[in-house]
Amino acid sequence: MPSNPLNLSSHLSSADDHADPPTGYPTRIMREQTEEAQRAQRERIEQSSEHNTPAMRIRAWERLHRLTLPRGSAHAVLDVVAKATNLTLEQVREEQRRRSEPAQLSQLSDSAGNHDGNSGS
């Protein structure tokens, strides 16, 4: 009997699944869900810990929600970030400014470098 190309379960199984087929997959899923819940709990603690800098708290918020801090200083989610991280709105906006500085500096140096490079041609 030919194999069914639509049956992917044999290709997606892990070694654990082969050891105990009836319980391997559900056990692995439960373990992954537990690990994810633990990771999320750690991120929630990190995002509001007074021992962390505003930048560290915001990065924890970003990891927890799998989002990046918006660039717009009037974005509605900034209030949400501030509350979740126990920061002021101004501290969140300061982190936005800090993040935009390297990009601005590299753009300025690139444009200065391009002018210098073009003047020799």
Domain count, the chain: 1
Q: CA 25: distance to chain centroid?
A: 27
Q: Are 12 and 24 in contact (CB under 8 A)?
A: no
- The more confidently predicted of residues 7 and 79 is 79
Of 94 and 119, more confident: 94
In a domain, 93, yes or no: yes
**Tens digits of residue pLDDT in 17-63:** 455 566 799 999 999 999 999 999 999 999 999 999 999 999 999 99
Q: What is the pLDDT of residue 23?
A: 76
Predicted pLDDT at 2: 52
Backbone angles phi, psi at 42, to 5 degrees: -60, -40
Q: Give pLDDT, residue 103.
A: 62
Distances (CA, A) of 115 to 88, 102, 121: 41, 20, 10
- Whether the per-residue pLDDT at 106 is higher than 80: the answer is no
Residue 2 maps to a domain: no
More reliable by pLDDT, 104 or 50: 50
CA atoms of 85 and 59, how far apart (whole Å): 10
Contact present, 99 and 106 (Cβ < 8 Å):
no
Residue 114: per-residue pLDDT: 59
**Do the beta carbons of residue 54 and residue 91 sit within 8 Å?**
yes
Domain membership of residue 69 as a residue range: 17-119
Q: Is 15 a residue whose pLDDT tops 70? A: no
Tell me, yes or no, whether 112 lies in a domain: yes
The pLDDT value recorded for residue 49 is 94
- pLDDT range class, residue 108, cuts 50, 70, 90: low
Rg of the chain over Cα atoms, rounded to whole angstroms, equals 24
Residue 111 lies in a domain: yes
CB 25 within 8 A of CB 17: yes
| Residues 59 and 48: beta-carbon distance below 8 Å | no
